[in-house]
Amino acid sequence: MLTIKDHKTHYMFDPFEYLGPKRRKMLNDSWAGVFRDHVRHVLPVDLLAKYYCSDNGRPTNELGAMMGTMILQHMHDLTDQEVAEQFSFNIQWHFALDVTSNSDSAAYVCPKSIWSTRFIMTENNLYDPVFEAIGDKLGKVFDVDTSLQRIDSVHIFSNMRHLGRIGIFVATIKKFLANLKRHHNQDFNALAQELRDRYLRKQEESCFSMVKPSESAKTLQMVGDDLFFLVERFRTHGKITAMASYQLMIRVLKEQCIVEHDETTSEKRVAIKANKDVPSDSLQNPSDPDAGYDGHKGKGYQVQVAETYTPDKDEKNPQLSLITHVEVEPAHASDAKALLPYIEATQQRDMAPEKILADSLYGSDGNHERAAGLGIDLVAPTMGGRKDASCTLADFEFSAKGTITVCPQGHKPVKVKKKKSRFSIAFAAETCVGCPLFQDCPVKAGKKDRSYIRYDAKVARLAQRRAFEKTDAFKEEYRFRAGAEATMSEFDRRTGIKQLRVRGIKAVRFAATLKATALNILRAGALRKRRNTGKSPSSSPFGSTIELILIIKEQIFAYLSDFSATDGKIAVA
């Protein structure tokens, strides 16, 4: 049976008046005040209510409080048991979630209810509406300017063990044999006892617990043969082939092995692929088949995070840096492909940026052209280029149409030719022969006493971008992208995003999205306190660290002066 409060109707009497004015002000100036005043009213509780019966069964916990509890759990990075304790006894949580009674029916939640709410929200993608509703509300309340934004990604780990190649084979086979024993015991018993014991022994008795480096290739071939044997053994068994663990074995076989046919014996055999030939989207652990692999950062997932920024900080009127977009991808996904989905998602919410700061992975020529077509200025360094050359195409001056107008030495071309997207620029040979940059210059000698340089429109655009990157205007504009690194640090430090307690892309998306939502609320709470008190939450009572050092320094000098004035004798008052 549903239990839903009408949070839009005000109380006749303040249910938290018993706290007193000082503690009440502390609550109002914290994240709890932001949550109570602006968040709880916009939670899409109606989406969660569809999965409960309105007139049958035991009464549910108040659904608005339960949806808010999901956010607070990820805000403080708590286990289910810790959430139950905070929900029951924490006044700050009661104030935020509008828990106005101390009865068990209102101020108690069991871990099973927390699990059920999380399961419903995860399976039905209810976390995206929560993120969007709260982000839109905070953007309006704090008058956030979304025209300037920056995007970056952070690598995160799910709750899975990091396995080597042998470990991936062993864990996959072990998972299949355990399921086979549970659901098809007769087929399991028909397997050789040696094979069963090899993978189902206890960890400390397993023959794979301590594999010597010199024997790793032999062991890898053995587990590959076992995997291939099991795949072939049950290939025609319809019910077994439908098992998820059997499908994982087929996936590992395709990703890690090559099945060869022996022409002399007409038999199949397995060859293990070289490490470099294993794709980055291969299975990393059968317990989390959605995770990917990045050669630089390792196994897991990555989170794309975009936020607003303000170039000119006004200490008297600080602005809220709001996270406008969050998306979870396997670790092997390319950042270059994340830009356009981010732009489309923010356009649907009327939060599209006019300028985006990003690193070079997002700054491909294709992304620049598509962003420009949408009226968005993408500011990102170009990748590649000859850094050791004294003269490159970027040193030339171009017209708006992409043709060269002047060379680095100030000479104009004698002929300009364009065919489709290709350019051919000719310079007089006598001006190039004596040029001090001729050896490194991309202009090369040609026929008819002329020197030529040929390029296409894409190369011209990249050259113009590289030329702009050398200017002070670009450096001044791009320096604000560094703030994205601070955001990633804050994201992890305050919400624990880099080490999650869950696995599987659905659960990881749920956690990452609600943690981004929580970070928006925490930032809004810090900004609210700063505006109300005139101080940032982290400011010291002395105003700044420098002022504190100066005060201590003066006290030390005063103490030393008194010490010398009394000939080393300190008077006791």
Confidence band (pLDDT; 50, 70, 90) for 157?
Answer: very high
Confidence band (pLDDT; 50, 70, 90) for 536?
Answer: low
pLDDT attached to residue 539: 46
Q: Where are the alpha helices (DSSP H) in 201-276?
A: 216-233, 238-241, 244-256
**Rounded Cα distance, 528 and 266, in Å:** 75
pLDDT attached to residue 58: 80
Mean pLDDT calculated for residue range 374-398 = 80
Confidence band (pLDDT; 50, 70, 90) for 535?
Answer: low
CA nearest to 366, candidates 331, 334, 396: 334
**pLDDT tens per residue, range 464-482:** 888 888 889 999 999 999 9
Question: Does the structure show a pLDDT above 70 at 217?
Answer: yes
Mean pLDDT calculated for residue range 356-385 = 91
Give φ, ψ of 480 to 5 degrees: -80, -10
Helix count (H) and strand count (E) of the chain? 23, 14
pLDDT attached to residue 573: 32
- Do β-strands 148-156 and 355-357 pair in parallel, antiparallel, or remain unpaired? parallel
Q: What DSSP designation does 499 have?
A: B
Residue ranges with strand state E in 283-432: 292-294, 298-308, 323-330, 355-357, 377-379, 397-398, 404-406, 415-419, 422-428
Question: Does the structure show a pLDDT above 50 at 131?
Answer: yes
Question: Does the structure show a pLDDT above 80 at 344?
Answer: yes
Tokens of 172: 């996959």
Confidence band (pLDDT; 50, 70, 90) for 328?
Answer: very high
Question: Does the structure show a pLDDT above 50 at 541?
Answer: no
Name the residue with higher pLDDT: 551 or 272: 272
Confidence band (pLDDT; 50, 70, 90) for 359?
Answer: very high
CA nearest to 74, candidates 526, 499, 511: 511
CB 89 within 8 A of CB 81: no
Range with lowest mean pLDDT among 130-134, 261-265, 397-401: 261-265
Confidence band (pLDDT; 50, 70, 90) for 206?
Answer: low
pLDDT attached to residue 84: 96
**Rounded Cα distance, 316 and 138, in Å:** 20
CB 349 within 8 A of CB 132: yes
Question: Does the structure show a pLDDT above 90 at 342?
Answer: yes
Confidence band (pLDDT; 50, 70, 90) for 559?
Answer: low
3-state secondary structure of 301: strand
What is the CA 555 to chain-centroid distance, rounded?
48
Percent of the chain having pLDDT more than 90?
Answer: 60
pLDDT attached to residue 91: 94
Name the residue with higher pLDDT: 394 or 197: 197
Task: Please list, in sequence order, all residues whose beta carbon lies within 8 angstroms of the beta carbon of residue 82, skipping any fewer than 6 positions away.
Answer: none
Mean pLDDT calculated for residue range 229-246 = 94
Range with lowest mean pLDDT among 43-57, 87-101, 350-364: 43-57
Name the residue with higher pLDDT: 56 or 181: 181
Confidence band (pLDDT; 50, 70, 90) for 414?
Answer: confident
**pLDDT tens per residue, range 175-187:** 999 999 999 999 9
Name the residue with higher pLDDT: 315 or 455: 455
Burial class (CB in 10 A: 0-12, 13-18, 19+), 273: middle
Name the residue with higher pLDDT: 77 or 571: 77
pLDDT attached to residue 392: 78
Confidence band (pLDDT; 50, 70, 90) for 453?
Answer: confident
CA nearest to 230, candidates 191, 276, 259, 199: 191
3-state secondary structure of 213: helix
Name the residue with higher pLDDT: 549 or 235: 235
Tokens of 140: 């309006």
3-state secondary structure of 49: helix
pLDDT attached to residue 570: 42
What residue segments make up the domains of the chain, in order of their start? 1-124, 165-277, 393-475, 540-573
pLDDT attached to residue 571: 41
Percent of the chain having pLDDT more than 70?
Answer: 90
Which pTM does this prediction carry?
0.84
Range with lowest mean pLDDT among 61-65, 81-85, 182-186: 61-65
pLDDT attached to residue 494: 94
Question: Does the structure show a pLDDT above 50 at 322?
Answer: yes
Range with lowest mean pLDDT among 31-45, 274-288, 389-403, 409-423: 389-403
Confidence band (pLDDT; 50, 70, 90) for 572?
Answer: very low
Mean pLDDT calculated for residue range 426-431 = 83
Task: Please list, in sequence order, all residues whose beta carbon lies within 8 angstroms of the beta carbon of residue 144, skipping any fewer than 6 positions away.
Answer: 138, 308, 319, 320, 322
Mean pLDDT (the chain, rounded): 87
Task: Please list, in sequence order, all residues whose beta carbon lies within 8 angstroms of the beta carbon of residue 42, skipping any fewer than 6 positions away.
Answer: 133, 134, 136, 137
**Rounded Cα distance, 389 and 442, in Å:** 10
CA nearest to 299, candidates 278, 279, 284: 284
pLDDT attached to residue 420: 80
pLDDT attached to residue 569: 46
pLDDT attached to residue 537: 53
